Structure 1
Amino acid sequence: MNATEKIYLPVDGILEMFNSLTGHLQSGITHPVLKSAVLTPVAQNPKVSHISKTGMAIIKTGKGLWRQQDKRVVASRSSSGNRQVSTDKLPKRSVDLLELGLTKPRNCHRIVVLGAPKVGKTNILQWFLGKKFEEHYEPTTEDFHRKLFHIGGEAYQIDLLDAASERDFPAKRRLSILTGDTFLLVFSLDDRESFNEVCERLNEIKAAKAKLLNKLKHPARVPPVVICGNKADLEAQRAVRRSEVKEILGEDVAFFETSAKEGTGMEGVFRALATLGGMPAETSPSRHQIISILTYQSMCIGQRGRRGNRRLGAPCAAVDPLACRPSFTSDLRLVLESSTKHNKPEMCQIQ
């Protein structure tokens, strides 16, 4: 993820974030500094300040809580039906190209997916990952995918966060928005309420990104967003017309009518995500070959030495079967740390 901008939060803002993420802040934390901070009333107009010892204590305490949560997520994913993998033939951990020094920060990208339940977000992502449509519906609490590309001699990493569980947690959702590079908003063409929710999410993204750019004294710009009206195969039940979408969201919005069941419109969605996100067009599913994660690793490592015979070969990609969302502590740090491009870090509140 491209995250050179680093921001500071007030301690009360961090507390609000932790409270929304854990839901058990007062009962589940025993750290004396944190507990006293929780019990202390927050002023109506708090001053924004640099990270204090209290703030660092909150982050360290939260890290322990989320480490346990991450372990449970990994365990549940490895035991689920569509994520069963043979661990003896796979890396011991998720592959992060940036940490391994195999790519550049500008080649790492995060796509945040938002929308109401049952609109087809998961099946749209399945197309991107090269998997089949699943008729059976299972509610997604939160899902994270990582697809690694090798295009034109360079390595690319695209993370996809399906933030379904953040629907009822505004602070948690704002954190995902601030760490996202591109956004995919999905609604169902047979459900007007889901379209209304997409309109709300679009306004929320614009407001959060505008506030962030203003705090960093950067020029205002429209965040890269692709809107997907799914279930186009249910024409008889259609409740939202294309003309209405254009009228409400504007003619310039990147809008596509799709059917995750039939594959209609999928290529246009992924091509738009690549274009708006500044990624190669070869990241679209039809433009590259799928290889195993081990083959991908050996190719990238071999590129450093004499074995890089596929260095300029055909575009290829691998799905990381062990991918797990970076902890919320990691995402908080991306937002909290000072920007390397500014002598005086600006201040920003997630609120």
Structure 2
Amino acid sequence: MNATMYLPVDGILELFNSLTGHHQSGITHPVLQSTALTPVPTNPKVSNITKTGMGIIKTVKGHLRQQDKRVVESRSSSGNRQVSRDRLPKRSVDLLELGLTKPRNCHRIVVLGAPKVGKTNILQQFLGKEFEEHYEPTTEDFHRKLFHIGGEAYQVDLLDAASERDFPAKRRLSILTGDTFLLVFSLDDRESFNKVCELLNEIKDAKAKLLKLKHLARLPPIVICGNKADLETQRAVNRSDVTESIGEDVAFFETSAKDGTGMEGAFRALATIGGLPDETSPSQHQIVPILTYQSMCIGQRGRRGSRGLGAPCAAVDPLARRPSFTSDLRLVLRSSTKHNKPERCQIQ
């Protein structure tokens, strides 16, 4: 007859904590609580701590992993929403390819600026996400936000071309694909402001070459943000410096992605000069899950008299990927042919 003993859990908890990074003074997980009270038959051939404990740890970790897999957290202006991973679309949503919008409702915003000036956090604000204090070099350089405003669908692509600063031809191509430009510098970094002035001239030059002009009759739609306005005591660039260097024709805002200063004005300016509805500003619409957005667009396709129905809403495409450089080059060539029919596109 096998003797009965209670399984000691102190060693298991210690091992569990070392593997998962959890540190608890007491037993709080229901699986471990039930294990601590359950008699286990003694098996002289099996270590009563190592193998049994590892089995429990495997069970608990599997249970937690399944919980994490079920939900994805999506930020919105009104709070947090949870959607099932299984209910995410299988591919990126391109409204134009799906026939759910018009070409004039598809827009690309190209973001440029020196490193560490807050470009990513400004983009996160536009996408309806929260400020990240810890700096990490940008890895995701392309985002897509889809809007449903006044019965019409809009697609706004955001391209952070900062990672292309060491590849002039690629950066030039990204500039040529841009409909609107957001240039960002840090108010506490004079060198980052000088970089924005260089980028402004680069944009003018690229667009002029595309149109086969010596000089542009008017500037492309550009918004400049002097970010980190919350660091007033460390300011190195004043508004008078900006006006003197870039003039008064360019929309300029002193912003803080950290506390929200000036962000609303900058986003409204992006919409206005880009020909987009004011409701594309983050404070003017509600974030909905991507599948809800798709259903809304498909449900209203072909209907008449739907314009103006429903509150403005938007969804962030979680699977958006930057179009290939070949696709961008074709886009630019079509654009240049439309204007002046040049033989080739000058990207270098």
Task: Give the structure-2-normalised TM-score.
Answer: 0.72
Q: 1:221/1:284 Cα in 2 relative to 1: closer, same or farther (>3 Å)?
A: same
Structure 1 counterpart of 2:323: 326
Supply the AA of the counterpart residue of 1:204: E
SS of the residue aligned with 1:111?
A: strand
CA–CA separation in structure 1 for the residues paired with 2:209 and 2:272: 24
Q: Which residue of 2 aligns with 1:294?
A: 291
| 8 Å contact kept, 2:333–2:344 | no
- Paired residue for 1:115, among 90, 113, 116? 113
Q: Does 1:262 align with 2:265?
A: no
Structure 1 residue 350 and structure 2 residue 343: aligned?
Answer: no
- What's 1:205 paired with? 203
* Candidates 65, 88, 91, aligned match of 2:89: 91
State whether residues 181 and 277 of structure 1, in contact with CA within 8 Å, keep that contact through their aligned partners in structure 2. yes
Q: Would the aligned equivalents of 1:148 and 1:155 in 2 still touch at CA under 8 Å?
A: yes
CA distance in 1, matches of 2:324, 2:271: 25
Residue 71 of structure 1 is matched in structure 2 by: none
Matched, 1:195 2:190: no
Structure 1, residues 136-184: CA drift from partner, whole Å, max 9, x if none?
1101145111000011111000000111211111111000000010000
Q: Aligned-pair distance for 1:337?
A: 4.3
What's the secondary structure of 1:127's corresponding residue? helix
Structure 2 residue 213 is matched with structure 1 residue 224:
no
Displacement, 1:213? 1.6
SS, match of residue 318 in structure 2: coil
Q: What is the aligned partner in structure 1 of residue 146 from structure 2?
A: 148
Report the Cα distance in structure 2 between the residues aligned to 1:294 and 1:218, rounded to whole angstroms.
45
Cα contact 1:141–1:164 (8 A) shared by 2? no
Aligned residue number for residue 136 of structure 1: 134
Match of 2:46 in 1: none
> Is this contact kept in 1: 2:184–2:226, CA < 8 A?
yes
Give ranges in structure 2 of 5+ residues lacking alignment: 1-71, 75-81
CA deviations 1:77-100 (Å, max 9, x no partner) are: xxxx99998542111000000000
Q: Which runs of 5+ in 1 are unaligned?
A: 1-80
Q: What SS does the aligned partner of 1:263 have?
A: coil
The AA in structure 1 aligned to 2:159 is L
Question: CA-atom RMSD, angstroms?
Answer: 2.6
Distance between the aligned counterparts of 1:206 and 1:82, measured in 2? 41
For the 8 Å contact 1:179–1:334, the answer to whether it is kept is yes
What amino acid maps onto 1:195 in structure 2? F
2:212 is paired with a residue whose SS is helix
Structure label with greater radius of gyration = 2
Q: Deviations over 1:253-272 (max 9, x none)?
A: 20000000001100011000
Measure, in 1, the Cα distance between the counterparts of 2:122 and 2:200: 19
- In the alignment of these two chains, the number of paired residues is 270
SS in 2 for 1:109: strand
Distance 1:208 1:82 in 2: 40
Deviations 1:290-317 (Å, cap 9, x if unpaired)? 1110100000000026799796111111
Q: Is the 8 A contact 1:303 1:311 kept in 2?
A: no
Is contact 2:211–2:336 with CA below 8 Å preserved after alignment?
Answer: no
Give the equivalent residue in structure 2 for 1:277: 274
> Aligned partners of 2:198, 2:338: CA distance in 1, in Å?
32
Contact residue 256 and residue 269 of structure 1 kept, 8 A:
yes
Q: Is the 8 A contact 2:150 2:307 kept in 1?
A: no
Counterpart residue type for residue 321 of structure 2: C
Partner of 2:166: 168
Q: Closer, same or farther in 2 for the Cα pair 1:255/1:88, shift >3 Å? A: same
Identity of aligned residues (%): 87
**8 A Cα contact 1:119 1:187, kept in partner:** yes
SS for the counterpart of 1:214 is: coil
Rounded to whole Å, the distance in 1 between the matches of 2:216 and 2:234 is: 43
Seen in structure 2, the aligned counterparts of structure 1 residues 204 and 91 have a Cα distance that, compared at 3 Å, is same
